Amino acid sequence: MSEYERQRQEKIAKNQALLQQLQLDAQQTGIGPKSRPKPSSSTAQKRKRPTDRAIKVETAPRRTSARLQGIVADSEVARQKDEADAVAFQEEQKAKRQRISEDINLTDAITNGGHWNRAGNWLSNVGPANPGERTFDAQDIRNTSDKELREVRERMSSLQLWEGAQPNRIKITPERIYSLGFHPTEEKALVFAGDKLGSLGLFDASQTSPEKIKQEADDADEDGDVDEEQEPAITTFKIHTRTISAFTFAPHDQNALFSASYDSSIRKLDLAKGTAVEIYAPSDTGADEPLSGVQISHADPNMLHFTTLDGRFGMHDIRTPKDEVSLMQLSEKKIGGFSLHPAHPHILATASLDRTLKIWDLRKISGKKDDRTPSLVGEHLSKLSVSHAAFNSAGQVATASYDDTVKIYDFSDCGSWQPGKTTLGEDEMKPATIVPHNNQTGRWVTILRAQWQQRPRDGIQRFVIGNMNRFVDIYSGDGKQLAQLGDDSITAVPAVAQFHPTMDWVGAGTASGKLALFMPA
């Protein structure tokens, strides 16, 4: 300790001793604060007893005053207290993000909305951005000489925002939307969305709009007020503790939704039973292995596929214990998204932060137990990171990259590939079409991804992607723009966009958890 510091500490000690003496003298002369008398036993009994109501228990440590505790500022004791408070805060945050392995009953997991059917089935009623500037409009449609292309453009451009409520009123999740999709049913539009903090939102667009209610009342000559501010039918469930990065409906069971999360787990949401069961997770509950994608094989309803943020690809048979999994390191960096070919699910496409699109053949896996990899068919290198890769039923792959392009690759001949023998050269891996597209989402907007319509009724392949100018773009399989959906009622970037598998319905979610739903007028 330096001489200056020693003298400073001595002065502090003298001042504290003087203060204590003055307080003692004041009490003895009767001018100081009097100590409170101890309560008698009869008085104590008269105190209000706790009621039967649940008492809120604070699990987090409460902040305390160092001055009132007599801790000297800039002392060793103060430093130790600051360190202890910092450790307690970190533990509190860690506990909030800790994965929960127990099964979740959806009735208990509701955090918003009362539209959940307690019978457990939503299908019970089924019988550089420049905001506002369009890059595709009606003039582009009129200038189309191809009759078939013009008809598709007119049909796609005629999609209108859901008439029941403006997008800023359809808050489907509490936080930023990371994943979104439609239930496969064609009877009504059921939109699901996963957000940043592990909530899964459900919006039912089958409810009757206020305009239709009013019209029906007028037709029946009924006199009654119509609630113009009818609340959208939204229910929110807390099924993960961290971001729901992706989810998929099982191709063999419309009641099963599989969700992947940054909390390192995959849950099966059973819409019929009303439960969310953990079907994959590391054996260590404290393991930090965030997941970036999930998909069920069309060939095997029990085979689950997923990717991680550390570049691994996993396969898990859901009939086996949830920690039994085959993991393969396919990239040194984050795999942002992957896709299995719908008709040939042994063909895998991965997109990575290492700027590559890679095509793999899962029929040929070689290497030792801890170093196994599928056969690499080919790869293509972009200028910047590739965010996602998506297969369509025709064998095309669409990727969105930070080099401001959407690339479309053609692997329609993959059915003739030989396992472990077929390799594609640089020329064969080049994209068939490159579409310029602003993909600079920045920090606060979810990464843009090109998502195909799985089974278009007219057979014309098309995909949807968010537009930084606050629109939703639709493109054909050959890279021609079909429509640009939206108007000034969309006040944030609808970054997470998806088609319904078969119907001409488009949903798009924003960073504020709100939904824009487009349907035929």
- What is the DSSP secondary structure assignment for residue 419, as one 8-state letter? T
Give the model confidence (pLDDT) of 481-493 as tens digits: 999 999 999 999 9
Name beta bridge partners: 37: none
* Cβ count near 229 (within 10 Å): 8
CA distance 473 to 205: 22
pLDDT of residue 85: 80
Give the model confidence (pLDDT) of 325-367 as tens digits: 999 999 999 999 999 999 999 999 999 999 999 999 999 999 8
- pLDDT, mean of residues 398-403: 95
Give the model confidence (pLDDT) of 56-106 as tens digits: 444 455 556 665 666 556 667 777 777 888 887 777 776 666 777 777 777
pLDDT of residue 4: 79
pLDDT of residue 49: 46
CA distance 345 to 338: 12
Output the six-digit token pair for 68: 């009132």
CA distance 401 to 449: 9
pLDDT of residue 109: 76
- What is the DSSP secondary structure assignment for residue 365, as one 8-state letter? E
pLDDT of residue 474: 98
Residue corresponding to tokens 């109501």 = 53
Domain boundaries, the chain: 133-209+231-520
- 246 neighbors 179 (Cβ within 8 angstroms): yes
| Whole-number Cα distances in Å, 436 to 135, 267, 400 | 12, 37, 10
Give the model confidence (pLDDT) of 409-434 as tens digits: 999 999 999 998 999 999 999 999 99
Q: Is the pLDDT of residue 200 over 90?
A: yes
pLDDT of residue 114: 59
CA distance 257 to 242: 17
CA distance 441 to 448: 7
> Is the backbone of residue 294 left (phi > 0), alpha (psi -120 to 50) or beta?
beta
- 400 neighbors 445 (Cβ within 8 angstroms): no
Greatest CA separation for the chain? 103
Give the model confidence (pLDDT) of 97-110 as tens digits: 677 777 777 777 77
* Cβ count near 258 (within 10 Å): 21
CA distance 453 to 26: 83
Mean confidence (pLDDT) of the chain: 85
Smallest CA-to-CA distance from 242 within 442, 140, 431, 99 is with 99
Give the model confidence (pLDDT) of 127-184 as tens digits: 467 888 999 999 999 999 999 999 999 999 999 999 989 999 999 999 999 999 999 9
β-pairing verdict for 373-381 and 405-410: unpaired
β-pairing verdict for 347-352 and 386-391: unpaired
| Of 224 and 413, the one with more pLDDT | 413
Stated length of the chain: 521
Output the six-digit token pair for 93: 């945050």
Long-range Cβ contact pairs of 265-270 (< 8 A, separation 24 or more): 265/99, 265/101, 265/240, 265/291, 266/291, 266/294, 266/304, 266/306, 266/316, 267/104, 267/239, 267/240, 268/318, 269/106, 269/200, 269/239, 270/120
Which residues make Cβ contacts (< 8 Å) with residue 273, sequence separation at least 6? 120
Output the six-digit token pair for 370: 């801890």
> At 29, is the pLDDT very low, low, confident or very high (cuts 50, 70, 90)?
low
CA distance 94 to 89: 9
- What is the DSSP secondary structure assignment for residue 125, as one 8-state letter? G
CA distance 207 to 292: 33
> At 231, is the pLDDT very low, low, confident or very high (cuts 50, 70, 90)?
confident
- DSSP output for 479-502: S-EEEEE--TT--S---EEEE-SS
| 3-state SS assignment for residue 13 | helix
- DSSP output for 90-111: HHHHHHHH----S-EEHHHHEE
- 464 neighbors 437 (Cβ within 8 angstroms): no
- pLDDT, mean of residues 309-328: 92
Backbone angles phi, psi at 436, to 5 degrees: -65, 135
CATH number of 133-209+231-520: 2.130.10.10
CA distance 133 to 350: 33
pLDDT of residue 79: 73
Q: Please classify residue 480 by burial: count the beta carbons closer than 10 Å to its beta carbon, then call 0-12 exposed, 13-18 middle and 19+ buried.
A: middle
Give the type of residue at 505: W
β-pairing verdict for 506-509 and 405-410: unpaired
Which residues make Cβ contacts (< 8 Å) with residue 141, sequence separation at least 6? 150, 153, 154, 157
Smallest CA-to-CA distance from 351 within 327, 380, 375, 325 is with 380
Give the model confidence (pLDDT) of 150-163 as tens digits: 999 999 999 999 99
Half-sphere exposure of 441 (CA within 13 A, CB side): 25
Percent of the chain predicted with pLDDT > 90: 62
Element (H, E) at 27: helix 3-29
